[in-house]
A and B are shown apart, each in its own frame.
Chain A
């Protein structure tokens, strides 16, 4: 989903204030592309054994794709509901940091915040933060949020209904959709050495823990890769500074 938003940012010329139609076009483009992957979520969730109502409740109430895929994956593996929810929650924490940057830009009245909060996700933030002023940022946020919310929930429903028609979803390769979504989200984040090291340690930790720890826990252990690599990297940076002196 990040990959989509980055393409949009490149298209946006920061020098000239974009016309409203350009903002709407960018917002709709992101909304449509990502909304359609709701279909993959609906199918994956149904394949993981969740009911139609449960699948739709996730898209309506959680509305942050990576967390939803993580939750149904953990539940399908037989994870404890709280460990499964913890993994999904930690993935959702990044939205708090989008909100921090958006609140100043959008300048939302206190009464609107609880409603707008549900739409604070990767894509709406990418579109809104790419706008030069408050008016276009609000427009971009609203159009992206609305398009995505409607399409994500609609395609979730279609995917969940379609899954039963498809029969064995594994035969269609649909169990590869979840990890492919994670990989596509991850790829644009791997720009630096530290990010790559964190990803590598995360993979190592989860594969080592998988056969020995209860379902859902290995992913939480892998989250430790972030503070561990950050600490080691900080020590090494200080070490080389010391040598230079």
Chain B
């Protein structure tokens, strides 16, 4: 049940912000500070989520095969690999290190 609540709240919230953007007159959210903050918010969240899901099991901090997988993904990104290759590399290296 709690999962359905989370799905409902997320779906409603994400849909409403999409609709809001299309509906409000231009200029309302166009102030430089608001735009700057809106651009930086995903940076903070994505960085935090990457670190959290790489270095923790949801509760404790830990270092396991995922760190190797994400290291390989970072290398793939530096080498300008396409999106799918980056994800595939992370998965394959993580599986490989676990199988050792």
A37 x B87 contact (CB < 8 A): yes
* Nearest A residue (CB) for B21: A99
Chain B 43-85: CB-based contact to A (< 8 A → 1; otherwise 0): 1111111111111111111000110011001100100001110
Interchain nearest-CB distance for A50 vs B (Å): 6
Determine if A117 and B19 form an interchain contact, defined as CB atoms under 8 angstroms apart.
yes
Q: Is A146 an interface residue (CB 8 A)?
A: no
Which of A127-135, A156-164, A193-201 interfaces with chain B? A193-201
B87 surroundings in chain A (CB, below 8 A): 37, 40, 177, 180-181, 184
Task: Mark interface residues in B19-47 (1 if CB within 8 Å of A CB, else 0).
Answer: 11111101001100101111111111111
Does chain B have a CB within 8 A of A42? no
Judge whether A178 and B53 touch: CB under 8 Å. Answer: yes
Measured between beta carbons, the chain A residues less than 8 angstroms from B58 are 73, 76-78, 215
Given contacts A61-B15, A96-B29, A203-B51, 7 further A-B contacts (CB under 8 A): A3-B86, A67-B14, A85-B9, A89-B17, A90-B45, A117-B15, A175-B53
Q: How far, in whole Å, are A96 and B91 apart by their CA atoms in the complex?
A: 32
A-B contacts, 7 listed (Cβ < 8 Å)? A66-B42, A67-B14, A71-B10, A91-B46, A99-B23, A174-B91, A184-B77
Contact of A14 with B by CB under 8 A: no
B contact set with A: CB distance below 8 Å:
2-7, 9-11, 13-15, 17-24, 26, 29-30, 33, 35-61, 65-66, 69-70, 73-74, 77, 82-84, 86-87, 89-96, 98-99
The closest CB in chain A to the CB of B17 belongs to A96
CB–CB B21/A97 < 8 A: yes
Contacts A184-B73, A184-B83 given: A67-B21 contact, CB under 8 Å? no
How distant is A200 from chain B, measured CB to nearest CB, in Å? 7
Assembled-state Cα–Cα distance A57/B57 (Å): 25
B48 touches A202 (CB 8 A): yes
* Closest CB in chain B relative to A109 CB, distance in Å: 11
Kindly list chain A residues whose C-beta atoms are within 8 Å of the C-beta of B53: 73, 175, 178-179, 182
- Contact-size category for A: 35 or more
Chain A: minimal CB distance from B29 (Å): 6
A contact face: mostly helix, strand, loop, or mixed: helix
Q: Which of B4, B54, B91, B92 contacts A54 (CB 8 A)?
A: B4
A219 touches B45 (CB 8 A): yes
* Known interface pairs A95-B14, A120-B22, A179-B70; A71-B43 also in contact (CB < 8 Å): no
Residue contact A203 to B91, C-beta cutoff 8 Å: no
Contact A199 B19 (CB under 8 A): no
- A154 at interface (Cβ–Cβ under 8 A)? no
Minimum C-beta distance from B37 to chain A (A)? 6
Contacts A194-B40, A222-B44, A223-B48; is A114 near B82 (CB within 8 Å)? no
Q: Give Cα distance in the complex from A142 to B9, angstroms.
A: 27
The complex places the Cα of A214 from the Cα of B30 at a distance, in Å, of 35
Task: Please state if B10 and A62 are interface contacts (CB–CB under 8 Å).
Answer: yes
Contact B65 A33 (CB under 8 A): no
A170 touches B91 (CB 8 A): no
Are A94 and B38 interface neighbours, CB within 8 A? yes
Interface centre among B23, B48, B55, B59, by most chain A C-beta atoms within 10 angstroms, is B48
